[in-house]
Amino acid sequence: MNQDMKFLVVDDFSTMRRIIRNLLKELGFHNVDEAEDGAVALNKLKAGSFDFVVSDWNMPNMTGVEMLRAIRADQSLKHLPVLMVTAEAKKEHIVEAAQAGASGYVVKPFTAATLDEKIGKILQKMGVNQ
Amino acid sequence: MSDFAGMEDLLADFLTEAGELLGEVDNKLVELEKRPGDRALLDDIFRGFHTIKGGAGFLNVQQLVQLCHLTENLFDQLRKATLALSPDLLDVIMSATMVIRDMFAFLERGAMPPSADDALLAALQHAIDGSPVLVVSAPAAVAAAAVAPASAEPDWEALMQSVTGVASTASTTPAVRAVTERTAGRRVSDQPDSDGARAGRREADRVVVSQETTIRIDTVRLDQVLNLSGEIGLAKNRLNCLRTDLLAGKTGADTLRSLDEAVSHLDVLVGDLQNAVMKTRMQPIGRLFQKYPRVARDMARQLGKHVELVLSGEETELDKTMIEELGDPLIHLVRNAVDHGIEQPEERQAAGKPETATVRLSAQQLGDHIMIEISDDGRGMKPEALRRKAVEKGLIDAEAAASMDDRHALQLIFLPGFSTKDTASNFSGRGVGMDVVKTNITKLNGRIEVKSVPGQGSTIVIALPLTLAILPVLVVRLGEQPFAVPLALVREIVNIRPDEVQEVSGRPTMLVREEVLPIRSLANLIGWPQSRPPAYGVHMQSGLRNFVLAVDGFVGRDDVVIKPLEDVKPKGIAGATLSGDGSVVLVLDMEQLLAEPAAETRRALFEQAA
């Protein structure tokens, strides 16, 4: 995996952003930026060249799914892999995430190994599809 | 080792953030009681529990995850309107937030909290199942139904395929499996790190994770500090140059003017820097206020009263230490207002007042002070009743009571041992009443006063300095020795003319603005001989004591940083500070000095000296 990949971690809870950032660091990804909701994240995504988005589901202003739909609707962003993070493991959530175009789905709490596996799968899939 | 070895930082962050979040949730619950159908409130509360659950999951605090999970599910149903909110249900939810707060307290000590009460879990589960709400204090036997299922992760790959119809090439799952097959999942109690295994070593290795050692600061404020210290560096360079010039013998008018300019500039910069650094410690008082609507609501409900707590000025900023120290006194005052101030609904109706009482808690900055007011529209206090009570309790004598005006009589409630209700109630009257509040406020260099109109309500006013770091003082002289007194206590400076000093009950007094005030000699108070008759007096008010402090002269006013005297603690001395010329100035602790009864006589002031 390319360790220079630039991640955007989106969560309204700063402790959670820090947790995910730490986990990414454990995996060797040091290039990580943060956003506290979907709207802020979209602005950052449009401004900077990000390679991967890890986003929470439940956020004020703009939820993770709304952001996901906006990303998929944007010509310059729609290729971006988006890993959705949530505490829910409900079927309707997963269906909604899949329909909105999520690249993967991870349920809190998770370990670095789980995250690694999810990211790996998504990147592998992208590689094959390209 | 604590239960959270290696995660202390994370835990501290979590507690700070989750604590704030829970405070917001609490307030929104109080709001929700008024507007049960408000969708935005329900969403916010749902998200609050959800977020706390997420964080707790990473910290592996399953007890917290379990409780938040249930509450969150409950709110999910409430916001989807598949469940209606009843007052009983709200009580169950409120006790859940209380338990969550208790769990935070465990976590703060670095210990794994015990699981929530079975009865509470059962009550939540019952509500989720749509059964009639159980009262929280129900017997624990009903708890069997209350094991929260922690859902296992569904199969993303399988679902992706079923939704998109495209087989994922990376998938290791050979066949599409129904998601529902796996949702039965693990139970919380199956987790290897569950409560039981840890209980044994919990007491022994309690490591204190101190929550309050970190502070969040707006980067704009930090930048200001940085800019100013940079500018001070430049000013220092300028002074260094001037020093070289001066040492080389250049003492012309130009050099001196430059020196004057440079020093003035530095003076302004240092002042600004002090301010900027102080600002980094300033926090909005709203973080404290937000706890109180819940406190007031719980108490009013238990007392059968209807009370609304109205907050204003939450954005007012105060030193972090002060905010921490204010927590207990304010909670006490809010409880006091609800318990003693507010009447029962019938009594209010009879008096022609709205059934729902209003308690206002406000903060605002006035000059270099913060004013905090707690007012209620309750029954108020009668000065006469307070006087009688104080005499009955032997706190003051009848003569003092008779000569005391109404405003002063109200302040009697701050005397130790004074309580207006004979039977202490569960909440506010625990014998450690208003005198403790007053002591706490005085410790912060603040003042507290009560105003009241019988039948219309009472207002408690607290005035606090912006910060504890810098104390404005008046520097007075006794002989050649300077002493500093807190400027907050100083009312005015007066001349003492021997012929105007009258003896009342053997004590010297003088008339200041038509008020007879006792004269206390500073020399006498600190045990020095009265070597000359005092020339000036400082009219001071320290609590209930209104007096003239007799001194030899003044140096001026100053803003000082008090250094506590660590090993020697002379009576009546709060600490020491350095004056501009480098000499040590002692800062007086007036309360302590005045604790001794007056001993001076008129003769001692004016005649012994000769």
Domain ranges of chain B: 8-150+186-211, 219-280, 284-381+420-465, 471-606
> What stretches in chain B show pLDDT beneath 70?
1-3, 132-213, 419-432, 543-544, 598-599, 607-610
Identify all chain A residues contacting B211, using CB atoms and an 8 Å cutoff.
none
Residues 6+ apart with CB under 8 A from B69: B53, B148, B150
Residue B135 confidence (pLDDT): 57
- Taking CA–CA distances from B167, the nearest residue in chain A reads A125
For B14, the closest of A15, A95, A121 (CB atoms) is A15
Best residue of A93, A94, A111 to probe chain B, by most B CBs closer than 10 Å: A94
> Could you tell me where the DSSP H helices lie in A48-111?
64-73, 91-100
CA B569 to chain centre: 28
Q: Mean pLDDT, to the nearest integer, of A65-77?
A: 91
Q: Collapsing DSSP states into helix, strand and coil, what is residue B51?
A: helix
The DSSP 8-state label assigned to residue A24 in this structure reads H
Tracing tokens 């507690």 back to the chain, one arrives at B15
Pairing of strands A32-35, A7-10: parallel
Cα–Cα distance between B155 and B178 in angstroms, integer? 8
A124: exposed, middle or buried (Cβ count in 10 Å: 0-12, 13-18, 19+): middle
Residue B585 bridge partners (DSSP):
B577
Cis ω before A81 (30° cut-off from 0): no
- Beta-carbon neighbour count of residue B418 at 10 Å? 17
Cα–Cα distance between B255 and B253 in angstroms, integer? 6
Domains and CATH numbers, chain A: 8-129 (3.40.50.2300)
Q: Mind listing the pLDDT tens digit for each residue in B192-214?
A: 343 443 433 333 333 443 446 67
Q: Mind listing the pLDDT tens digit for each residue in A113-124?
A: 889 999 999 988
Q: At what angle do helices B62-79 and B118-128 cross, to 10 degrees?
A: 30
Residue B516 confidence (pLDDT): 87
Contact B228, B273 (CB under 8 A): yes
> Could you tell me where the DSSP H helices lie in B80-194?
87-108, 118-128, 156-164
Question: Terminus-to-terminus CA distance in chain A, angstroms?
Answer: 16
Which stretches does DSSP call E strand in B208-337? Answer: 282-284, 307-312, 317-319
Cα–Cα distance between B104 and B108 in angstroms, integer? 6
Homologous superfamily in CATH for domain B8-150+186-211: HPT domain (1.20.120.160)
Three-state SS annotation for B597-609? CCCCCHHHHHCCC
Cα–Cα distance between B16 and B12 in angstroms, integer? 6
| Chain B residues interacting with chain A (CB cutoff of 8 angstroms) | 10, 13-14, 17-18, 21, 44, 46-47, 50-51, 53-55, 57-58, 60, 151-154, 156, 159-160, 163-164, 168-170, 179-180, 183
Q: Collapsing DSSP states into helix, strand and coil, what is residue B448?
A: strand
Is there a contact between A121 and B170 if contact means CB atoms under 8 Å apart? yes
- Taking CA–CA distances from B180, the nearest residue in chain A reads A91
CA distances (Å), A87 to each of B50, B54, B179, B249, in order?
7, 6, 16, 76
Residues 6+ apart with CB under 8 A from B18: A15, B51, B52, B55, B56, B104
Dihedral of CA atoms B453, B456, B458, B464 in degrees, nearest 10, equals -90
For B57, the closest of A108, A124, A128 (CB atoms) is A108
Widest CA span in chain B: 110
Identify all chain B residues contacting A98, using CB atoms and an 8 Å cutoff.
159-160, 163-164
Residue B168 confidence (pLDDT): 44
For A104, the closest of B152, B154, B156 (CB atoms) is B156
What order do you get walking across the sheet with B307-312 strand by strand? B307-312, B357-366, B369-376, B457-465, B447-453
The values of phi and psi at residue B208, to 5°, are -75, 120
For B58, the closest of A108, A121, A125 (CB atoms) is A108
Cα–Cα distance between A2 and A78 in angstroms, integer? 20
The values of phi and psi at residue B244, to 5°, are -55, -45
Cα–Cα distance between B259 and B263 in angstroms, integer? 6
Residue B136 confidence (pLDDT): 52
**DSSP codes of every residue in B387-401:** HHHHHHTTSS-HHHH
The values of phi and psi at residue B238, to 5°, are -60, -45
Is there a contact between A91 and B180 if contact means CB atoms under 8 Å apart? yes
Best residue of A9, A11, A13 to probe chain B, by most B CBs closer than 10 Å: A13
Widest CA span in chain A: 35
Tracing tokens 């709110």 back to the chain, one arrives at B75
Is there a contact between B156 and A94 if contact means CB atoms under 8 Å apart? yes
CATH architecture, range B471-606: Beta Barrel (2.40)
Contact B19, B212 (CB under 8 A): no
- Beta-carbon neighbour count of residue B355 at 10 Å? 11
Cα–Cα distance between B481 and B265 in angstroms, integer? 31
Cα–Cα distance between B122 and B120 in angstroms, integer? 5
Q: Is A28 on the interface with B (CB under 8 A)?
A: no
The values of phi and psi at residue B539, to 5°, are -75, 115
Identify all chain B residues contacting A16, using CB atoms and an 8 Å cutoff.
51, 54-55, 58
Which stretches does DSSP call E strand in A1-130? Answer: 7-10, 32-35, 52-56, 82-86, 104-107
Q: Collapsing DSSP states into helix, strand and coil, what is residue B572?
A: coil
Cα–Cα distance between B509 and B539 in angstroms, integer? 12
Q: Is A121 on the interface with B (CB under 8 A)?
A: yes
Give the residue, B160 or A58, on which the prediction is more confident: A58
Residue B509 bridge partners (DSSP):
B502, B518
To the nearest whole angstrom, how far is the Cα of B313 from the nearest Cα of chain A?
25
Report which secondary-structure segment, H or E, holds B405: none
CATH number belonging to domain B284-381+420-465:
3.30.565.10
The DSSP 8-state label assigned to residue B208 in this structure reads -
For B17, the closest of A15, A56, A125 (CB atoms) is A15
Is there a contact between A19 and B179 if contact means CB atoms under 8 Å apart? no
One-letter amino acid identity for B319?
A: D
Which stretches does DSSP call E strand in B20-91? Answer: none
Report which secondary-structure segment, H or E, holds B563: none
Residue B2 confidence (pLDDT): 60
Q: Is A48 on the interface with B (CB under 8 A)?
A: no
